[in-house]
Structures are given as C-alpha cells and as structure tokens.
Amino acid sequence: MHSDFRRTISDERQLVYDAEHGAVDRMWPTTIGDAISATTVPASGATTSALDSASSIVSAYFARLLSVLEDHAEQLSREIIFQGREGLTATRIDDLVEPHANELLDYASEPIYGAGFIATVDLLADAPSHLAWWQGADRRKLVFPPRSVKQGIDYRELEWFRIPSLTGNSHVAGPYVDYLCSDEYTMTAAAPVLVDGNFVGVAGLDVLIETIERRLTPPLRALGFPVLLVNGVNRVLVSTDPRLSPGDVLRHQPVLDRRRCDAVDLEIVVLH
C-alpha cells in the first residue's frame, strides 16, 4: 500500500477512535473538503465502455466472495439444525464454525484476512452473544480480554450485521476501520444464517483494502483507460489514473462520468 495511504489511515483512525465506540463500523469520516462533489462533464462512448468494464470487474470480485460465503452460511445452517438449538454453547459453535473459517482462509482465489460466525443475541445457552472468528496469517482465534472496550460493542448495530438481520440478504460493508476485529482498514462481507427461517447470526469474512487494491489494480489497468474506484466520500481505493493515488480524495477534479458497482457501495470514476 502507498505510504501516503498509510498516513491517511493512521490519521483518520484516530478521528474514528475518538468518536463513540458505537460508531465502529463508520465509513471514513466525512469532512467538508472530502464531501465536495466533483464537476461532471459529458462522457464519450469510449468512456462509457471503460466504466461498464471496470464496474463489471469490481462487481465480479465481490460477487465471488459473496458466493463462497453464502455456500458456507447454508452449510452452517444445516449443521446448527442437526446439532439442535437447545443447549447450543459457545464452545460447540466454535467447533462448528472453525472448519468453515479455515476453508475461507484457504480460499486461494481471493486472499481473505478473517472469517467466522457472529451469533445473534440469546442464541447460545451459556453466553448472551458470541463471535467465533479466526484471522491473520497465524489464524488465531479472536478472544477479547476481560472488561475490554471491544466486549462492550453492540455488533447488532454494525452495518455488516444489521443489514443481513433486517433484510435476510447478504451485504458488503465498508470500507471502514475495523476496531472490533482486525484494527485494519477493511471491507466485510456477511451472509445471514437462517434456521427454520429464523435469523441466528451471520457468516462473515474480512478483506483488507490493501488486498483489494492489489487484486483489482492489474485488471483495471489492463483496460487501457484511466479509472478510479472511490467510496461514498470520494476517497480513492484503487487508481490507474496517475493524477490520483489510493488514499487521495476526489475534490474539484472534473469528472467525465461515474458508474456504481453492484453488491457494494463503491463507484468507478473517470476524470476529464
């Protein structure tokens, strides 16, 4: 990842951390400068073609992640049904989830940083809530120290949990600084786990933004047309345009056209 991007992450992490911990899943903080909309000018046919191709590349990347995750969510649902919800404990959930987490972390096509299952409140007999999660190169299980700030986080209000629980649909959240799990700039894919039609939690996976940048830059550059991938506040995640780098914010630059990506709150932008 570019050094400027790392400095930006460090600075804005502190801004997020100083806010209420309930805002763990916030996007990058929006400042007046960050939120300025760039000027749009008419696009050409070549631009439209590049936008469509770039949007398809990004959408396909996240569609692959969701497809694999949804398969695991369905398998986990069947295993919970077989186990029976009565008397289901945190240890038993860990035993059920760990093989799925390891399979996701083994997924060679798309490097994944963390994976697991987050139970809905009161699913388990011995804990009001539970996060069965493994992450990092050493695949360590995430364990919160007693009385830590993270233990007090109500993940029901976080985007990656809230939307699948309300809609019954998979969702990709971010980018955001993940203070609950990795403390990294990441995106989280989550798929609802249903038992007899009832929501019992989400299967999830994390992909670091630096991984997304590394995976998407080559196919976007191969289009031969400079494009930007930006988030909801016009911060650049991936760039093949030499005028802006990952971590920069699109401010007053004239925009030729832009296109939303499927399944994720990101846009492809072409500058004039």
pLDDT digits (tens, 9 = 90+) for 89-115: 999 999 999 999 999 999 867 899 999
- DSSP state, residue 176: E
Mean pLDDT in residue range 51-59:
98
The CA–CA distances, whole Å, from 268 to 46, 55, 231 equal 14, 6, 9
CB 24 within 8 A of CB 180: yes
- DSSP state, residue 37: P
Mean pLDDT in residue range 16-38:
38
Supply the mean pLDDT for the chain. Answer: 85
Angle (deg, nearest 10), helices 45-83 and 209-221:
140
Of all helices (H) and strands (E), which one includes residue 212? helix 209-221
Residue 42 has what pLDDT?
55
Mean pLDDT in residue range 185-190:
95
Mean pLDDT in residue range 192-200:
96
Nearest of 77, 106, 24 to residue 202 by alpha carbon: 77
Residue 216 has what pLDDT?
98
Residue 259, classified by CB atoms within 10 Å of its CB into exposed (0-12), middle (13-18) or buried (19+), is: buried
Of 77-86, 128-137, 250-259, the poorest mean pLDDT is in 77-86
**Per residue in 144-185, pLDDT tens?**
765 555 666 788 999 999 999 999 999 999 899 888 888 899
Residue 87 has what pLDDT?
80
Of 12-26, 153-167, 211-225, the poorest mean pLDDT is in 12-26
Residue 16 has what pLDDT?
38
Residue 153 has what pLDDT?
76
In the block, tokens 């388990």 appear at 124
Residue 82: pLDDT over 60: yes
Residue 29: pLDDT over 50: no
Q: Which residues contact 14 (CB under 8 A, 6 or more apart)?
A: none
- Of residues 181 and 212, the one with the higher pLDDT is 212
Q: Which residues contact 21 (CB under 8 A, 6 or more apart)?
A: 149, 152, 153, 179
Two tokens, residue 189:
């894919």
Nearest of 223, 227, 218 to residue 255 by alpha carbon: 227
Residue 73 has what pLDDT?
98
Most confident segment among 27-31, 143-147, 215-219: 215-219
Two tokens, residue 85:
């919800």
| Domain ranges, ordered by start, for the chain | 3-11+31-57+217-271, 64-210
Percent of the chain with pLDDT over 70: 81
Residue 45 has what pLDDT?
82
User: What is the CATH number assigned to the segment(s) 64-210?
Assistant: 3.30.450.20
Of 2-16, 35-49, 112-126, 237-251, the poorest mean pLDDT is in 2-16
Of all helices (H) and strands (E), which one includes residue 193? strand 185-195
Residue 125: pLDDT over 50: yes
